[in-house]
Amino acid sequence: MRTFTKQTRFEHSLETLFQWHEKPETFSLLSPPWTPIRIRNTHGPGGIIPGTIYDLQIGLLKIPWKAKHTEYQKNTLFTDEQIQGPFQTFIHKHEFESCETSSAILRDSISYQTPANLPIPLIEPELNRVFTYRHKKTQICLDRLDSFKGPTGKILVTGGTGLIGTQLRLALSQLGHEVYILTRNPTQDREIHWNWEKKEIGTLPQPLKCVIHLAGENIASDIWDEKLKNKISRSRVEGTRFLVESLRMQNAVPRAFLCASAIGIYGDRGEEELEESSSPGSSFLANLGVSWEQETKKLLDLETRICNLRFGIVLDPRGGALKKMFWPFVMGAGGRLGHGRQYMSFIGLEDVVNSILFLLTQPGAKGAFNLVSPTPLSNADFSRILAKVLNRPAFFHLPEKLLTLLPNKMAEELFLASQRVLPGRLINAGYQFIHKDLESILRYCLGREL
C-alpha cells in the first residue's frame, strides 16, 4: 500500500480549522473545479460523524464512488474510507495539530492500493494537484470567515444554481446567513418557485437583509437569432422588473439589492480605459445593460441600497468562457480571435464571490461596480497565457472575416469587442483581490500550480 501526504500550516486556531471542516458546505466547496464531485446521496448521521456514507460521482466520466466516515476525534482527526470505487483500498485521514501563535497544521494522508497493485504513475501527481487546490481553497474560505463576518440575515438569491450562484450560496451559508433560492423547480428547503415569464412567484421570506439577483439567459448558449436575443433581453429586463414588483407587492423590500449587470454596457472601446463613470456604448449588449440597470432603480424610493454588478468574463472550468475554451486549447487548437488586439476583462470565480460578499458588508456601497481583475489583457496575450498554463501551443487563430459570418453581430459583440475595464470603485472601497492576474487565476482553478 502506498501513502501520499500533504501538509499545510494555517494562521487560524486549531478549533477554527476543525470546525470549518465540520460545516455541511465544506465537502462541496473543496471539490476541484477541473474534476467536479457530485453528492448523489448521503446516509447515516451526516457530516464527518462515523457511519456517514457519501454516494458520489467523480469527474466528467461520473465514476461511482462510495465513502464512509470511520473515525472521529474532535479537534484531532477524522477518517473516511472508500467502500466502493476504482481503488482496491483508499483511506483518507485528516489530521489536525495545534501550533504556537494561534495557528494549526492540517495533514491529509491518503493510503491507497490499486487493483492488482498495478503501478499507475499519474495517481500521486493528481493527488498533489487536488490537495494543493484543497488547501488553498481552505485558506480562502477561512479568510472569508474573518473578512466578512457580521450581522447575519435572510438572503434571497436568483440564479442560485448557476456557476456564480452555487459557490455564492455555499459561502453565504458558511457565514451563517439563511439563504433562499428562487428557482423554477424547487426541490429542497428554502427553495421558492418563481417564473418571471408566467408572472409566478411564491411567498418571499421576511425580513430580507439582501436580494442578490443573478438570473439571466446565457448570452453564449447558441448562435444569435432574433428569438434568442429577445430571450436574452427579456430575461434580464422583464425578469428584474417582475422581481422588483414582487418585492414591493409582498412588502419584502430588502435593505440591499445586488443585481447582476455586465461590462458589455461599455460597448467596443478599443484601448480606452473604462471605469464605472465611463459612458455606455450603443450596441445591443450596451443598450441591454442600460435598460437592465434602470429596472433596479425602482427600489430607490424605498431606501434600498442598490449595487449593479458589472461582471467581466468569469473564469472557471465548470462554466462560462473558460469551459468553452478549455478543450480546444488542451488539444493544441487554441489561439487568438481576429487580430487579437481587443482587450478582455476577466475575473476569477473566487474574487467574484468575495467581491459580492464585500459589497454586501459595505453599508456605503451603492451604484455600479466593475467586477473585473485590475489587469485586463489583449485577446492575443490571454490566449498565450492560457496556452502556457496548459503547456500547449497557441498557433491557431480564427480570422475576423470568418467570425463575422456569425449572424446578428454576435462575433462583433462577444468575441471582437474591446473592453479594457478597470475595477476602480471596488479597489477604492478597499477590496483586496485574491488573484490579480490571469496566470494566477488559471493556475489556481485549473490545478496547474508551479
pLDDT of residue 121: 87
Q: Are 73 and 18 in contact (CB under 8 A)?
A: no
Give the architecture-level CATH label for domain 2-147: 2-Layer Sandwich (3.30)
Torsion of CA 214, 216, 219, 222, to 10 degrees: 130
- What is the distance between the alpha carbons of residues 55 and 38, in angstroms, rounded to a whole number? 9
pLDDT score at 115: 87
Comparing CA positions, the residue from 337, 357, 116, 156 lying closest to residue 247 is 156
Nearest in space to 282 (alpha carbons), one of 405, 407, 420, 412: 412
What is the full per-residue pLDDT of the chain (450 aa) written as tens digits? 899 999 999 999 999 999 999 999 999 999 999 998 889 999 999 899 999 999 999 987 889 999 999 999 999 999 999 999 999 999 999 999 999 888 999 999 999 999 878 788 889 999 999 999 999 999 999 999 999 998 999 999 999 999 999 999 999 999 999 999 999 999 999 999 999 999 999 999 999 999 999 999 999 999 999 999 999 999 999 999 999 999 999 999 999 999 999 999 999 999 999 999 999 999 999 999 999 999 999 999 999 999 999 999 999 999 999 999 999 999 999 999 999 999 999 999 999 999 999 999 999 999 999 999 999 999 999 999 999 999 999 999 999 999 999 999 999 999 999 999 999 999 999 999 999 999 999 999 999 997
Whether the CB-CB separation of 315 and 347 falls below 8 Å is answered with yes
| Other beta carbons within 10 Å of 402 | 12
Interatomic CA distance for residues 148 and 440, integer angstroms: 23
Q: Judging by beta carbons within 10 Å of its beta carbon (0-12, 13-18, 19+), is residue 124 exposed, middle or buried?
A: middle
Distance CA 63, CA 104 (A): 34
Q: If 0-12 CB within 10 Å is exposed, 13-18 middle and 19+ buried, where does residue 170 land? A: buried
Span(s) in the chain for CATH 3.30.530.20: 2-147
Q: Are 429 and 365 in contact (CB under 8 A)?
A: yes
Q: Beta-carbon neighbour count of residue 337 at 10 Å? A: 21
Position 1 scores a pLDDT of 87
The backbone torsions φ and ψ at residue 385, rounded to the nearest 5 degrees and listed phi first, read -70, -40
Tell me the DSSP string of 139-166. Answer: HHHHHHHHHS-S---EEEEESTTSHHHH
> Does this model's pTM top 0.85?
yes
82: Cα within 13 Å, side-chain hemisphere: 19
Q: 154-445, superfamily in CATH? A: NAD(P)-binding Rossmann-like Domain (3.40.50.720)
Length of the chain: 450
Rounded Cα distance between 423 and 260, Å, is 15
State how far the Cα of 203 lies from the Cα of 211, in Å rounded to an integer: 14
Name the burial class of residue 275, with classes exposed (0-12), middle (13-18) and buried (19+) by CB atoms within 10 angstroms of its CB: middle
d(CA 182, CA 204): 9
CB-based contact 133:444 (threshold 8 Å): yes
232 residue type, one letter: I
β-pairing verdict for 305-311 and 367-371: parallel
**Running DSSP on this structure, what letter comes out for residue 280?**
P
Cβ–Cβ under 8 Å, residues 349 and 312: no
Max Cα-Cα span within the chain: 70
Across-strand partners of 182? 158, 192
Distance CA 175, CA 165 (A): 15
Parts of the chain belonging to CATH 3.40.50.720? 154-445
Nearest to 379 by CA among 217, 255, 261, 270: 270
Which residue in this structure is represented by grid cell 501551443?
393
